[in-house]
Amino acid sequence: KPKRCLPIQCGGVGGPLAISPLLFHPNAKGSQIIMDLAQKTVKRQASFCNAITFSNRPIALYEQVRLKITKKQCCWSGALRLGFTSKDPSRINPDNLPKYACPDLVSQSGFWAKALPEEFANEGNVIAFWVDKKGRVFYRINESSPMLFFSGVRTAEPLWALIDVYGLTRGVQLLDSEIVPPDCLRPRSFTTVRSSSLRREADDSRLSVSLCDLNLHAHRHTLHLASASSSSTCPIPQNSLNSQQSSLLPPALESDLHFHQLRGAHIKTLDEQTVARSEHTREERTLVFTDRPLRTGETVFIKVTKSSPARSGSLSYGVTSCDPAMLRPSDLPYNPEALVDRKEFWAVCRVPTPLQSSDILGFLVNQEGEVILSHNGTNVGMQVCVDNSRPLWMFFGLHGAVTQLRILGSTHLGDPRTTSSPSSPSSSPHTPSALGSGSSDPVLNGGMCSAAYCSSAGGTTPNSPVSLPKSPTFPSGHGAWPDECSICYENTVDTVIYACGHMCLCYTCGLKLKKMSNACCPICRRQIKDIIKTYRST
């Protein structure tokens, strides 16, 4: 059993060691680092990198640098990078700091660091690491037994702590440091007892692969020569998954969105309700919901983390005015499209393109009530138009090839109509691309979407064609009659759709639309039972 570690004596008179409290260096830090006034807590504000930090003073041999993980962001891979440097951070220009500690900094002389295993990067964990007189670096998790991290550190010169708040780890807090008595470190603690766990960490497929995870000390001089021309760029992608994902996502994501506790019987949620996994080989009850309603103008980003090529079928998704807390697992059907028969508002769609692992989907409900889909940063377009006058929850059905989803986060824009970036796509309701009349359009042919409106007061009842709900597409204040047909944009609107009651078509386009299979209203996606030509009194 390891002996009790001794606390650092801060400025003690006559003591063997007088060290000031350990803080983060106030100036030498990455561009994404936000530091509190006490210099004890740092947080990465965006992205997954550019978050290198240092200690404000040199670290003594056997002095434990103790960190508490205060924030975890599950949309990335990789975790904390920990180590030491013989370079005084006060002489480091923050503008010249690279994106990554590994391999950018460790390829330079005087920097040593390695990635912490991902399974230890959980909120609340306390990580301690230190270096002994032989240049070996050890770490422990929550006062567990010490484990050998890496070796090769030059201890003949002062060493500062190096902490890269990378990937999954978004925020850390420095705790009071402690001295580890040298006799606590017995050789057998790192031979037979820990060799298996070290091999298990090295073989874990979930760990991100980077140059600093390998023992390349013998080749550091070669890497240093290769990176001497530009120390601020990374010649080899440190983590291709994060780099690809970063290019498909906005720089800042809100992480308050999770999956609801109510879910299908064959779904399991993991990682603080941000991951949904199908637990059945067949397509069974696999619906999951968001834990809160969506905000107008909010884009939700979902990542496919597991897929099965042997299975066919695309991802089902949709929005509903039904609070999931009012449902029971037995209320959820095997087929999500059966939900449109319920009394609440349900709109069910399927992603029109095949999905693979690591694909990222964005779902936006804009002010016009349009649900707009993006796939790997590419705007797919409007999929369905919904009633956003009431709270709407989003849901997903893990049917077909998609077997696991992760909520990456969301962004919220005040007016999404002014946004044209791929990560927050928008589509004008008056463009032919959104409401075109071609039969190849998945929105018009009705093969991808179906919806049902709530029959309660204030909603549109199925048997009341004279109840004319306010169309989310046409602005109020321009009279009760829209001027142009939503399909041809040439003829005047003179036709009402039965049974939803929307007036948005000319009679010619209405006849063509009615003849299509599964014809539905361009506004609300309800099935067209008939079209009625109308006449103005003037």
Domain span at 172: 24-179
pLDDT-derived band at 208 (thresholds 50, 70, 90) equals very low
Same domain, 270 and 141: no
For the chain, give the longest Cα–Cα distance.
102
Report the mean per-residue pLDDT for the chain.
Answer: 74
In this prediction, residue 231 carries a pLDDT of: 37
What mean pLDDT is predicted for residues 12-34? 76
Provide, rounded to the nearest whole percent, the portion of the chain with pLDDT above 90.
26
Instruction: Answer whether residue 197 shows pLDDT above 50.
Output: no
pLDDT, one tens digit per residue, over 495-520 is 999 888 888 889 999 888 888 877 88
The better pLDDT of the pair 491, 196 is held by: 491
Same domain, 285 and 391: yes
Instruction: Answer whether residue 9 shows pLDDT above 50.
Output: no
The DSSP code for 202 is H
How many other CB atoms sit within 10 Å of the CB of residue 117?
22
Distance (Å, rounded) from C-alpha 276 to C-alpha 492?
A: 48
pLDDT-derived band at 473 (thresholds 50, 70, 90) equals very low
How far, CA to CA in Å, does 105 sit from each of 108, 163, 234, 256?
A: 5, 11, 9, 33
pLDDT-derived band at 290 (thresholds 50, 70, 90) equals very high
Token pair of 127 as six digits: 């990580």
Same domain, 382 and 264: yes
Assess if residue 102 is contained within a domain: yes
Same domain, 165 and 268: no
In this prediction, residue 222 carries a pLDDT of: 39
> Could you say which of 155, 179, 203 is where a domain stops?
179
Distance (Å, rounded) from C-alpha 174 to C-alpha 68?
A: 7
Instruction: Answer whether residue 51 shows pLDDT above 90.
Output: yes
Tell me the one-letter amino acid at 256: D
What mean pLDDT is predicted for residues 296-315? 82
The DSSP code for 210 is -
Cβ atoms of 23 and 39 within 8 Å: the answer is yes
Token pair of 309 as six digits: 């090529």
In this prediction, residue 70 carries a pLDDT of: 93
Same domain, 131 and 270: no
Instruction: Answer whether residue 453 shows pLDDT above 70.
Output: no
pLDDT-derived band at 271 (thresholds 50, 70, 90) equals confident
In degrees, rounded to 5, the angle at the alpha carbon of residue 163 between the alpha carbons of residues 160 and 164 is 140
Assess if residue 58 is contained within a domain: yes
Same domain, 265 and 402: yes
pLDDT, one tens digit per residue, over 85-115 is 999 999 999 998 998 888 888 888 999 999 8
The better pLDDT of the pair 109, 282 is held by: 109
How far, CA to CA in Å, does 166 sit from each of 44, 115, 127, 161, 445?
A: 8, 9, 15, 15, 46
pLDDT-derived band at 463 (thresholds 50, 70, 90) equals very low
Provide, rounded to the nearest whole percent, the portion of the chain with pLDDT above 70.
70
Same domain, 168 and 295: no
In this prediction, residue 221 carries a pLDDT of: 40
Same domain, 139 and 273: no
> Could you say which of 377, 412, 447 is where a domain stops?
412
Assess if residue 228 is contained within a domain: no
Assess if residue 353 is contained within a domain: yes
Token pair of 56 as six digits: 């404000």
What mean pLDDT is predicted for residues 248-266? 83
What mean pLDDT is predicted for residues 349-369? 86
Instruction: Answer whether residue 481 shows pLDDT above 60.
Output: no
In this prediction, residue 186 carries a pLDDT of: 52
Same domain, 67 and 170: yes
Same domain, 46 and 136: yes
Assess if residue 230 is contained within a domain: no
Assess if residue 286 is contained within a domain: yes
Assess if residue 369 is contained within a domain: yes
Buried b / exposed e over 298-323, threshold 16 CB at 10 Å, is bbbbbbbbbbeeeeeebbbbbbbbbe
Assess if residue 324 is contained within a domain: yes
What mean pLDDT is predicted for residues 2-31? 65
Same domain, 256 and 347: yes
Q: Specify burial of residue 192 (Cβ count, 10 A radius: 0-12, 13-18, 19+).
A: exposed
Distance (Å, rounded) from C-alpha 45 to C-alpha 30?
A: 11
Distance (Å, rounded) from C-alpha 490 to C-alpha 468?
A: 23
Token pair of 439 as six digits: 């039969």
Confidence (pTM): 0.47
Distance (Å, rounded) from C-alpha 131 to C-alpha 146?
A: 12
> Could you say which of 386, 412, 438 is where a domain stops?
412
Instruction: Answer whether residue 235 shows pLDDT above 50.
Output: no
When mean pLDDT is compared over 202-211, 412-421, 456-465, the highest value belongs to: 412-421
Same domain, 261 and 404: yes
In this prediction, residue 120 carries a pLDDT of: 87
Q: What is the CATH number of the domain that holds 383?
A: 2.60.120.920
Instruction: Answer whether residue 127 shows pLDDT above 80.
Output: yes
Considering its fold, how many domains does the chain have in total?
Answer: 2
